[in-house]
Chains A and B, each alone.
Chain A
Amino acid sequence: MDKCLGCYTCAMACKNLYHQDKGIAWRRLHSLSQDIWPHSERAWISLACNHCEHPACLKACPAKAYYKRDDGIVVHDESRCIGCRNCVRNCPYGAPQYNRTEGRVEKCSLCYQRIDAGLKPACVQSCPVGALELVDVVEMTDTARFPAGFPYYPQLNPSVRFMTARAPMMFGREEK
């Protein structure tokens, strides 16, 4: 969050790679509200699926269209999806999104095909300032799990960590 410029490159890289329909965006940027970030220079939170340890989507899907890989990535198998939208109701972070044209839900799968090929996810690769990284959350002890602006759901244990934004430095001539 400290590095993020709010340039939307991560969201656009994701959209370009997967040709998401109009209105669908697996990764989205959210501007922090002025109530929690009272600076004229805005701060951002870039979010897609959080690949929770206990995913609400996987638990609620009646058709078992979700599965969790050994590396923790939560994958949605669209061929099994019946379009009931129960996962949309259950995920508090809005990750699964309903595609009305397809009649199915879709979401970020952390570019697991790219990861299997030794590449970085599209969002991580595209970020011009290195604000997104693929890390082992167990090693991230000095990062925030639920910063302001990210709803508190410890029972799901989202697999994301945040380095919160620092107050911007002000440059200028001192008033006399």
Chain B
Amino acid sequence: MNDLELPLVLFTVLSQAAVGVAWVAAFKGGGSPLRSPALLSAAFLGLALAASLFHLGHPTLAVTALRNLGSAWLSLEILAAGLFFAFVIVGAVIQRKIWQVLGLVSGALMVVASGLTYAAPGYPSYDNALPTLLFFLTAMILGLSWGWRFIPEDGRPGTARLLAAVLLVAMVLNLVAPCLWANGVMAARMSAAAFASSPLFWLYVVAALGVPMVLIFKRLQIPTWMPVYLLAGELFGRMLFFALPAHSALTLGGIN
């Protein structure tokens, strides 16, 4: 089992929540830039960026993480996060459509760069599009649930249906991934075994994705406690994302 990487758990989940809220406000909020979702988005991202500093061995050098924009996805992720933060803040103050569009684009870029940062050769189970897909699903789950109250009344049942569908996709993806790893290289097979044998993983799939999906689909509304519940679930799931996969170096000297 790896480190839980709590600062990275907070950074990735909260930054994706920020992007999700911005998307929902833009696409479901009636088309006009809104101040409240922008502030909520900025609050999520501010907390995310603050948490990310605790991951670094030398936080005072954090700004030098922008040096390798040519080849490091992590540099691009930090740049996109900074731009997204700036556009969201500016968009909340100067309520013009252009800032909202720039925020949406930089937010999407941040989620892609974040996903590709974790598509690392050292973790064969993640060295593919899976982290990016999981991060987009997190952004949608948290964006739709936290952005719910900014959506006009007539758009809410459709949004609830969409959230239930996203939760279903997330559940399927989380179940299919370990099945695919089971036919991969040794590190991927070890990851498959770690996930499949972890009661915490099954708890995440059932309690954080399955149960909310059924509740939301049945009621076609999102109870006030649900956004907090889903956020806690995604934080829990992200801890498992960091803790359970096997690094390729564990297989040195063994069958690959």
A interface residues (Cβ-Cβ under 8 A, vs B): 28, 30-33, 35-36, 44-45, 47, 56, 59-64, 80-86, 88-94, 98, 100, 102-104, 148-153, 155-156
- Whether B248 lies near A63 (C-beta < 8 A) is no
Contacts of B187 in A (CB 8 A): 151
Contact A149:B58 (CB < 8 A) given known A86-B74, A91-B121: no
Subset of 19 A-B contacts with CB under 8 Å: A32-B254, A35-B254, A45-B253, A56-B122, A82-B62, A82-B64, A84-B57, A89-B120, A89-B247, A91-B122, A92-B121, A92-B249, A93-B252, A94-B252, A100-B57, A150-B256, A151-B252, A153-B121, A155-B121
- Whether A89 lies near B118 (C-beta < 8 A) is yes
- Whether A90 lies near B120 (C-beta < 8 A) is yes
Contacts of B252 in A (CB 8 A): 28, 30, 45, 47, 93-94, 149-151
Distance of B179 from chain A, by nearest CB (Å): 22
Does B72 reach chain A (CB closer than 8 Å)?
yes
From B57, B62, B68, contact of A104 by CB (8 A) = B57
Contacts of B118 in A (CB 8 A): 89
From B65, B120, B185, B253, contact of A30 by CB (8 A) = B253
From B65, B122, B185, contact of A88 by CB (8 A) = B122
Does B176 reach chain A (CB closer than 8 Å)?
no
- Whether B68 lies near A103 (C-beta < 8 A) is no
- Whether A62 lies near B65 (C-beta < 8 A) is yes
Contacts of A56 in B (CB 8 A): 120-122
Q: Which 6 A-B pairs have the closest CB atoms?
A: A83-B57, A103-B57, A94-B249, A30-B253, A92-B248, A62-B65
B interface residues (Cβ-Cβ under 8 A, vs A): 55-58, 61-62, 64-68, 71-75, 78, 117-118, 120-124, 185, 187, 247-249, 251-256
The docked-state distance in angstroms from the alpha carbon of A149 to that of B122 is 15
Distance of A93 from chain B, by nearest CB (Å): 6
Distance of A25 from chain B, by nearest CB (Å): 12
When C-beta atoms are compared, the residue in chain B nearest to A90 turns out to be B120
The docked-state distance in angstroms from the alpha carbon of A113 to that of B109 is 42
- Whether A93 lies near B67 (C-beta < 8 A) is no
Contact A63:B57 (CB < 8 A) given known A56-B121, A90-B120, A92-B122: no
Contacts of A61 in B (CB 8 A): 68, 72
- Whether B122 lies near A90 (C-beta < 8 A) is yes
When C-beta atoms are compared, the residue in chain A nearest to B249 turns out to be A94
Contacts of A63 in B (CB 8 A): 61, 64-65, 67-68
Distance of A38 from chain B, by nearest CB (Å): 12
Which of B117, B123, B252, B255 has the most chain A CB atoms closer than 10 A to its own CB? B252
Contact A82:B61 (CB < 8 A) given known A56-B121, A153-B121: yes
